[in-house]
Structure 1
Amino acid sequence: MTQSPAAAGAPGTAGREAGTAASSHGAPASAAHRAAGICQLRKNVSHTDFTGKTFTSDLYCENVVADVYAKAENYATVVGKLVTTLSWFVCWETGELHAGKNRIWYYTQGDRILNWPQRKGWGYVPAYRLTTTVDPFPGLPACVPGVTSPGLNQAAGGGR
């Protein structure tokens, strides 16, 4: 068996073990960034999900602790958990209406793996758990090629 890139120490790749903490997902944010809430698109990064798909850009964004769901549905199996408050998200998907009053969910890898270890913590987080001001975040690709924004963009505080 070959060693995964994550096991070899490559940043931003899949391969965390069940119940272990992430080594590359979150990073400490400065007090100024935490107060303002930050979200920025990054290029030239590398994240490989449990299916082998590699993403070369992401949204690096402040978030609250959140469950990571296997599907973009409120009662889907929780496969992981974000425990850091600054995380990356590689794409968005339209899913079930969530507590943020829209249907946008962001795809990421949880900091901790809770169920279905073969998924390596990959799944969806509802948009209201991020500090985005518009959902989907402008410039972040849809998870399904060719899908466009469903017209559910909402300003912060307006039912994200």
Structure 2
Amino acid sequence: MRLHTKIAMAAGGLALIGTCVLVTAPAQAQGNPPCYAKSGHLYCGNKAGVSVWRSPRYSEYDQDAVDTLKSNPSYFECYVSGQKHGGGNSIWYRTYGDVSGRTGYVAAENVYTWKDPFPGVNHC
């Protein structure tokens, strides 16, 4: 959030004219389609090129990344709780990778939701 104050010269000194607050919009409003849930599934913009993991956790082992999510927006089948990640929560969304079609999990920090788990999405 950025605070901007307008100041003008007035007789005898400075006068405060007004204050406005600039709030940055969520990622989905910055060129990504809005997220929505339908029939318990999530359709949402996401970071493309991220790994789809075998389990809802990051791993140092390449074999635990089963595919790559290249599409944006994407389909997410449901959500689970897993390892806490950089998004400040432990929500992971199950999806299908775009290279081999394998099923796995993407951390919510890579999905442009405004709330996790996203309302209306089924728990796996």
TM-score, L = length of structure 1: 0.54
| Residue equivalent to 2:120 | 139
Higher strand share: 2
Equivalence for 1:9: none
Aligned residue-pair number: 93
Sort the Cα spacing of 1:36 and 1:70 in 2 relative to 1 into closer, same or farther, 3 A.
closer
1:1-160 maps to which residues of 2 (within 5 A)?
A: 35=31, 37-43=33-39, 57-65=40-48, 66-75=50-59, 77-113=64-100, 120-143=101-124
Identity of aligned residues (%): 34
CA–CA separation in structure 1 for the residues paired with 2:104 and 2:57: 10
After superposition, the C-alpha distances for 1:76-104 in whole angstroms (9 at most, x for unaligned) are 60001110111000110000011212100
User: What is the alpha-carbon distance in structure 1 between the residues aligned to residue 56 and residue 117 of structure 2?
Assistant: 14
1:24-61 Cα deviation digits (max 9, x unpaired): xxxxxxxx976254111123xxxxxxxxxxxxx42110
SS of corresponding position for 1:124: strand
Partner SS, residue 105 of structure 1: strand
Whole-angstrom distance in 2 between the partners of 1:33 and 1:99: 21
Query: RMSD value over aligned CA atoms?
Result: 1.9
Cα separation, 1, equivalents of 2:102 and 2:30: 25
Letter in 1 for 2:122: P
Q: Which runs of 5+ in 1 are unaligned?
A: 1-31, 44-56, 114-119, 144-160
State the structure with more CA Rg.
2
Structure 2: runs of 5 or more not aligned: 1-27
SS at match of 1:35: coil
Separation of aligned partners in 2, 1:124 and 1:80? 10
